[in-house]
Chain A
């Protein structure tokens, strides 16, 4: 599968933005197995981009295509399988079910399209240091713990593209690197393309292409 951006620009951005951006207003093709780093300072439209790519918002000019299909033309019934089978995401605001436990939060995602067994899930939580939090309600976990839950959740489905919006903002270096390892392993298995959008910082992401938003 390939992801094509054609002349993409949020409707609320001025046209002159396209001159300074390496993403807005450009023709870009992303293929599987690429590792894309998008450097996006505040206000550059990072979350907007992620939302556009995931089909959450349609207030943009230009075209986004997954293979030949224009995402704008997809109705809710068509978006569901796209998200279930091809595109996974870690939101900046996480979006867990606050009143469900960590285990339940993960299972809700896993059962939709089981890529891993429940045992593997447990193993992943142990690996990221939240194994003991499985039965805690999501809202009682610290933000860093919740963030790790969100990361693991994103890795429980098959995907061709993984969208990451500031996934390590509340993790210390060690946890960030552990998580990054896990992400890279899971992506390699699926031969997926990883798109990581963040402020300047992430040094340990071995990107193949770099874009300034």
Chain B
């Protein structure tokens, strides 16, 4: 019945609408991807940033432990800062420690052990406890260290191991000092992305320092601070003033993430504008179709066709088209997401191949929007025609 319309211009509008929808859906999906990717890497826990601070080792301060270690006074000063919520020094061992993989792997090395307040550890399992007399020591290993092992292992004729395997291998921790030697069994219970260290429970370290070490209070060369915002300028200024060094990676990550998020927000807004534009174009097109068919529609009304019926039937032609366009865009978005996940991101577990439910919901909303717009437009036009 809708004769007299130009097929080419019709298809143009459909495609315009489709592209707009596609752009919107893709940018939403990408935004979600970014969020999920950066979530694991970011060290935000409970909305705080955890950063490690060290003293800059310069030529002058080299070899002078007091200059490179944090005194209690300095720790207190840090804690007193308004932008710092809490402070935890990374306490080291004070005696000789050797790590050996025993009979499982021909791997043996001098080691260091450190400890940190539980609150500051990002991957803290419930098994990270120790009691005096216990020969079993849970270890939290830095992910970076683990990866370094896997890097040099082949060259040493050692096998590369997976995280699961590493957590299954018992290691021997040999502590020497004060004329005593004791062997403990250690097991990796977790990997930390935040703390570049080999962590043991605090009470173990303090006990072993007393038992094997000089017994004096140990000082830390690294301190973790808990802050609301790693990019806080006050924090950065304080750190510069005291000649401390920040673990800058986190902030860089944060900044990158913000930039990428910003880009995709921009794209998303752009997509939204394009969708709005496409919707406007489509409604103009619809008005044009109706205007061109105005005489026919008017005659139909004159012959006794009801406006409501006509409105319904015009909708019946167009609604499937809207649904088809949005579904097509959704399918393309899904395809793009799958290929992005598969080819660009190598099936990383943080992402899914399926588009997020948010994207699906937006698609549904778009369909509803176009149906409602179409209905209201047609109704007003038909009734507008009618009033002579």
Interface size for B (C-beta < 8 A) is 17
B302 near A83: Cβ-Cβ < 8 Å: yes
**B307 an interface residue at 8 Å Cβ cutoff?**
yes
Query: Main SS of the interface on chain B?
Result: helix
A97 near B299: Cβ-Cβ < 8 Å: yes
**B305 an interface residue at 8 Å Cβ cutoff?**
yes
Interface size for A (C-beta < 8 A) is 20
A112 near B305: Cβ-Cβ < 8 Å: yes
**B383 an interface residue at 8 Å Cβ cutoff?**
yes
CB contacts (< 8 Å) of B301 on chain A: these are 76, 80
A95 near B305: Cβ-Cβ < 8 Å: no
A-B contact count (CB 8 A): 43
A54-B302, A84-B306 given; 8 more Cβ-contact pairs under 8 Å: A76-B301, A76-B306, A80-B307, A82-B304, A83-B302, A84-B304, A84-B305, A99-B4
CB contacts (< 8 Å) of A54 on chain B: these are 302
**B296 an interface residue at 8 Å Cβ cutoff?**
yes
A104 to B22, CA, bound (A): 40
A99 near B3: Cβ-Cβ < 8 Å: yes
**Residue among B302, B305, B386 with max Cβ neighbours from chain A (10 Å):** B302
Minimum Cβ distance to chain B for residue A155 (Å):
13
By a beta-carbon cutoff of 8 Å, the part of chain B in contact with chain A is: 3-4, 296, 299-309, 383, 386, 388
CB contacts (< 8 Å) of B3 on chain A: these are 99-100
A112 to B300, CA, bound (A): 10
Q: State whether A77 and B306 are in contact (beta carbons under 8 Å apart), knowing that A56-B388, A57-B388, A99-B4 are contacts in the complex.
A: yes
CB contacts (< 8 Å) of B306 on chain A: these are 76-77, 80-81, 84
The 8 Å CB contact of A112, one of B4, B303, B307, is B303
A76 near B386: Cβ-Cβ < 8 Å: yes
CB 8 Å contact bits of A51-85 with B (1 = contact, 0 = none):
00010110000000000000000001100111111
**A109 an interface residue at 8 Å Cβ cutoff?**
yes
A157 to B303, CA, bound (A): 10
Minimum Cβ distance to chain B for residue A160 (Å):
13
CB contacts (< 8 Å) of B303 on chain A: these are 83, 108-109, 112
Nearest residue (CB) in B for A89 is B302
The 8 Å CB contact of B304, one of A80, A95, A97, A99, is A80
A108 to B304, CA, bound (A): 11
Q: State whether A77 and B299 are in contact (beta carbons under 8 Å apart), knowing that A56-B388, A99-B4 are contacts in the complex.
A: no
A76 to B379, CA, bound (A): 12
B388 near A80: Cβ-Cβ < 8 Å: no
**A113 an interface residue at 8 Å Cβ cutoff?**
yes
A84 to B386, CA, bound (A): 16
Contacts of A81-107 to chain B: CB distance below 8 A: 81-85, 95, 97, 99-100
A142 to B386, CA, bound (A): 30
A109 to B296, CA, bound (A): 13
Minimum Cβ distance to chain A for residue B383 (Å):
6
> Shortest 3 CB-CB distances between A and B: which pairs?
A83-B304, A84-B304, A80-B306
Nearest residue (CB) in B for A100 is B3
Minimum Cβ distance to chain B for residue A98 (Å):
9
Would you give 21 A-B contacts (Cβ < 8 Å), ordered by A?
Answer: A54-B302, A56-B302, A57-B388, A76-B383, A76-B386, A77-B306, A80-B305, A80-B306, A80-B309, A81-B306, A83-B302, A95-B302, A97-B299, A99-B3, A99-B4, A100-B3, A108-B300, A112-B303, A112-B305, A113-B304, A157-B304
A79 to B256, CA, bound (A): 66
A77 to B306, CA, bound (A): 6
